[in-house]
Amino acid sequence: MRYLVSVISLLAFLPFYFSAAIPLGPNKVTCVAKGDPHIKTFDGTSYDFSGHCTYDMVNDIDPNHGQSRFGVTVDNMYRRNEKNARVVGFSVRANGHTVHVTGGEDGSFIIRDESRTEIPQTGFPLKHGGIDVKEDEGHLVFETDVGVHVSWNRFFQVVISLDLDVVDDGRFVEGMCGDANGNKENDLKTRDGDLVDFDQPNKTEKQIIEEFGQTWSVENTCVSL
């Protein structure tokens, strides 16, 4: 009997030993960046933004954890002969490690680590510092053990998912995806934490959103046009 209990305990433990990632539970929210790009926040606010830099989509700022445990950025760029910038790459950071993906126009891609060294694509799943990269029906899926997952369709759409049972509190994330407190009215905040004011008579809504979005650009990533 004792042997049987030991075997059952071992079997229950094995999946966690061999895979750092934890499947998303039912209590999840998603943020979508697609096309040129259109963004839908975790709480459901949609807006268009067409910058040409790398942008912070979500960043963990939970004060109970001392340091940021996860973050996701997307790279917007103009392709040849295209009028609008669009998502051409992204990065997933978890527990101090990062994987960065650059997508080619033909659906190919390059995966690099936090030192920008290419990670050979020797077959999936790839594992890097607690980030598991898998293939799922043509999508690349990035899973972590800190409650953030990312799915990329290899062309123009990045879906960021937060498991609110693991993240603890959806209030403590920031970025272009907003927070995840269930209130869509407070989603568009600048990097300084100011709620976007659309009541600016001399500016169009597009200009106001451009200014908001640029506050989330990552330093030294903007491409000159």
Residues that bind Ca ion (CB under 5 A): 43, 178-179, 181, 183, 186-187
Q: Closest approach of Cβ 63 to Ca ion, in Å?
A: 18
Q: Closest approach of Cβ 8 to Ca ion, in Å?
A: 42
**Which residue number places its CB atom closest to Ca ion?**
43
Q: Closest approach of Cβ 202 to Ca ion, in Å?
A: 28
What's the rounded Cα separation, in Å, for the pair 9 and 206? 57
Nearer to Ca ion, 145 or 187 (CB): 187
Nearer to Ca ion, 41 or 91 (CB): 41
Nearer to Ca ion, 103 or 147 (CB): 147
Nearer to Ca ion, 45 or 221 (CB): 45
Residue 60 identity (one-letter amino acid): D
Q: Closest approach of Cβ 5 to Ca ion, in Å?
A: 46
Residue 40 identity (one-letter amino acid): K
Q: Closest approach of Cβ 183 to Ca ion, in Å?
A: 5
Q: Closest approach of Cβ 171 to Ca ion, in Å?
A: 8
Q: Closest approach of Cβ 110 to Ca ion, in Å?
A: 34
Task: Kindly write down the DSSP assignment for every residue of the chain, as one continuous string.
Answer: -HHHHHHHHHHHHHHHHH-------SSEEEEEEETTTEEE-TTS-EEE---SSEEEEEEE--GGGSS--EEEEEEEEPPTT-SS-EEEEEEEEETTEEEEEEE-TTS-EEEE-TT-PBPP--SSSEEETTEEEEEETTEEEEE-SSSEEEEE-SSSEEEEEEEHHHHS-GGGEESTT---SS-GGG--B-TTSPBP----TTS-HHHHHHHHHHTTBPTT-PPP-
Residue 138 identity (one-letter amino acid): G
Nearer to Ca ion, 138 or 193 (CB): 193
Nearer to Ca ion, 31 or 140 (CB): 31
Query: Residue 225: is it exposed, middle or buried by C-beta count within 10 angstroms (0-12/13-18/19+)?
Result: exposed
Nearer to Ca ion, 183 or 214 (CB): 183
